[in-house]
Amino acid sequence: MLKGKCVVLGVTGSIAAYKIANLASALVKLGADVNVIMTKNATNFINPITFETLTSNKCLVDTFDRNFQFNVEHVALAKRADIFMVAPASANVIGKMAHGIADDMLTTTILAAKCKKLVSPAMNTNMFENPIVQDNLQTLKKYGFEIIEPASGYLACGDTGAGKMPDPEVLLQYILREISHEHDLTGKKVLVTAGPTAEAIDPVRFITNHSTGKMGYAIAKAAMERGAEVTLVSGPVNITPPMFVDVVNITSAAEMADAVKSRAGECDIIIKSAAVADYRPTTVATEKIKKKDGEGSTIELERTEDILSYLGSHKRDGQFICGFSMETENMLENSQKKLKKKNVDMIVANNLRTAGAGFGTDTNVVTLITADSADELPKMSKEDVAHAILDKIIK
Ligand SMILES: Cc1cc2nc3c(=O)[nH]c(=O)nc-3n(C[C@H](O)[C@H](O)[C@H](O)COP(=O)(O)O)c2cc1C
C-alpha cells in the first residue's frame, strides 16, 4: 500500500517516544521506506538501534555525523519525503519549528522539507495549555503544518488531562489518509449510506435485514482516502467507523430518508448502499405485543420511502447518483430497468446467487451498470470493489 513512499518520522524527548517503534514497524509492513530522525534528548527514551532494526535505515541524530550515505543527508531526505510526521513532538521542538530554529538534524531537515508535515504534541497538560505552546502551535498551523490534537487521559507524569499522544494506530491513519492513495476526489463532497434500517414493531421487536454495512463503510473509507469530504449515514451496524468521516447514525428508514434529504443537495456524489427496509408497521405498539399460545397477531405494513427515487428525481446538474441492487435472477435486465426508472447514473448490481457476493462477506462480486456500459468485476475484497466503484464514477 505504501510501496515507493518515503515517510520521515521525527522523534523528540518525550516518554511517548517508545510508542513510535510500533508506528515505524506498521509503516514498514505496509511497504514504506521509513526514515527516523531523533533529537539527542529522544535517545534517552528509546535507542536508535530499535528504529534502525525496524526500518533497515540509519536513524539520524547528529547533523554533523560523517558516517552517512550521501542520499540521506538532511536536504536529500527532506526532498525525498512524501510525508513528515513529528511524533511525539516536545514543547521544545514545537517552539523551535515555529520559529525557524534549525539547531539539530530534526529541526534542520523539517525546515528543508516541502511535503505535508504532521505534528503530534505530547506533553504534560500544564505545558500543553501554556499560552506560549498554544501560540507556537497556531504559528505552525499558519505555516501549513497539521496539528494532531492530543488525546486526554492519564499522563506518564501522573496528571490527567490533555497532552497524551494518540495511539500509533491513530497516527498511522493520519499518514495513510495523506499518502496511501492519489487524492483524485479532493474538493468533492460524497454522501454514502450503509447498513440496514430497523423498523420498530413494538418496544422489543423490529423488522430489518442482513446488511452488515461492510460495503458502504469500505466506500466511505475509500472516498476519504482519495481526498473527499465524506458523510456516512449509517444504520445499526457493528463496524468501527473510519476516521476522518462524518458519521450520522440512524435507525429507521424515515430517519435515513431525513438524514439523506437534508444533505443531498450539497453533495457531488451520492452512493446509496444501505439496505433500507422496504416495509414498516403502520403503527408501533407502545407495549410488547403479547400472544397467547397458538394465536397469531397481524401487523399491518406500509412501504417506506424510496430514497433512491427521491435522489434521482431531485438530481442536480453535475451530481452523480449511484444505487445498489440485489437480484436473484435477471440481474442485468432488472438493474438496467432500475437505472432508468430511478434516474440514477450507476447501479452496482450483486447477484445474490454468486458465492462471495452480498451481505456479510468480506468480498463482493458486482457488475457496474451505467446507461452505456456493464462492467462485470471479478470477486474482490470490498475495499477493492469500493475503489473500483469510485474509479468508474471519476471516469
Ligand atoms: C522523564 C521525562 C519525560 C519527559 N516528557 C516530555 C514530554 O512528554 N513532552 C515534552 O515536551 N517534554 C518532555 N520532557 C522534557 C524534554 O525531554 C525536554 O524539554 C528536552 O529538552 C526536550 O528535548 P528535545 O525537544 O530536543 O527532544 C520530559 C523529560 C523527562 C526527563
**309 falls in which pLDDT band (50, 70, 90)?**
very high
Q: Whose CA is nearest to atom 18 of ligand 1?
A: 13
Cα(164) to centroid of ligand 1, in Å? 13
Closest residue CA from atom 14 of ligand 1: 14
- What domain range includes position 241? 189-281+300-394
Task: Kindly name the residue from 6, 59, 115, 157 that is annotated as catalytic.
Answer: 157
Q: Could you give the dihedral angle defined by the CA atoms of residues 95, 100, 105 and 110, in that order, rounded to the nearest 10 degrees?
A: 100
At residue 357 the predicted structure's pLDDT band, cuts being 50, 70 and 90, is low
**Distance between CA 200 and CA 234 in Å, rounded?**
17
Same domain, 157 and 250: no
Q: Is the confidence at residue 297, as pLDDT, over 80?
A: no
User: What are the beta bridge partners of residue 367?
Assistant: 349, 376
Same domain, yes or no, for 149 and 209? no
The percent of the chain in helix, strand and coil, each rounded to the nearest 5, is 35, 25, 40
Q: How far, in Å, CA of 109 to CA of 107, rounded?
A: 6
Mean of the pLDDT values across residues 85-90? 98
Whether cis (ω within 30° of 0) applies to the bond prior to 203 is no
Domain shared by 212 and 110, yes or no: no
User: Residue length, the chain?
Assistant: 395
Give pLDDT tens digits for 197-213.
999 999 999 999 888 99
Annotation says 6 is catalytic = no
Q: Which of 206, 210, 202 is nearest to 251 (CA)?
A: 206
pLDDT class of 360 with cuts at 50, 70, 90:
low
What is the rounded average pLDDT of the residues 166-187? 97
Gap between the Cα atoms of 51 and 39, Å rounded: 13
The contacts found for 379-387 with CB under 8 angstroms, 24 or more apart, are 382/214, 382/215, 382/218, 383/218, 383/221, 383/222, 385/215, 385/218, 385/348, 386/215, 386/218, 386/219, 386/221, 386/222, 386/223, 387/181, 387/222
On whether both 313 and 367 belong to a single domain, the answer is yes
- Atom index in ligand 1 nearest the CA of residue 92 equals 25
**Judgement on whether residues 167 and 268 belong to the same structural domain of the protein:** no
Are 13 and 142 found together in one domain?
yes
Q: Using CA atoms in the order 301, 302, 307, 308, what is the torsion angle rounded to 10 degrees?
A: 90
**pLDDT tens per residue across span 215-272:** 999 999 999 999 999 999 999 999 999 999 999 999 999 999 999 999 999 999 999 9
Helix (H, G, I), strand (E, B) or coil at 350: strand
What is the value of pTM for the model shown? 0.91
Q: Decide which of 179, 213, 247 is a domain's last residue.
A: 179
Residue with CA nearest ligand 1 atom 1: 15
pLDDT above 90 as % of the chain: 79
Q: Any residues with CB less than 8 A from the CB of 247 and at least 6 apart, and which?
A: 231, 232, 234, 241
The CATH number that applies at residue 214 is 3.40.50.10300
Task: Work out how many domains the chain is built from and give that number.
Answer: 2
Ligand 1 site residues, Cβ closer than 6 angstroms: 12-16, 39, 41-42, 88, 90-93, 122-123, 127
107 and 29: one domain?
Answer: yes
- CATH number for the domain including 144? 3.40.50.1950
Last residue of a domain, one of 154, 179, 204: 179
Choosing from 9, 14, 109 the residue with most ligand 1 atoms within 8 A of its CB, the one to mutate for a pocket test is 14
Specify if 306 maps to a domain.
Answer: yes
Q: Domain end: 125, 149, 179, which one?
A: 179
- pLDDT per residue as tens digits for the range 152-173: 888 787 888 889 999 999 999 9
CA–centroid distance, 368 to ligand 1, in Å, is 54
Task: Tell me the CA–centroid distance for residue 54 and ligand 1, in Å.
Answer: 24
Lowest mean pLDDT segment, chosen from 45-59, 107-121, 127-141, 282-296:
282-296
Question: Distance (Å, rounded) from C-alpha 273 to C-alpha 346?
Answer: 12
CA–CA separation, 356 and 144 (whole Å): 45
The atom number, within ligand 1, closest to the CA of 155 reads: 8
What mean pLDDT comes out for the span 135-139?
98
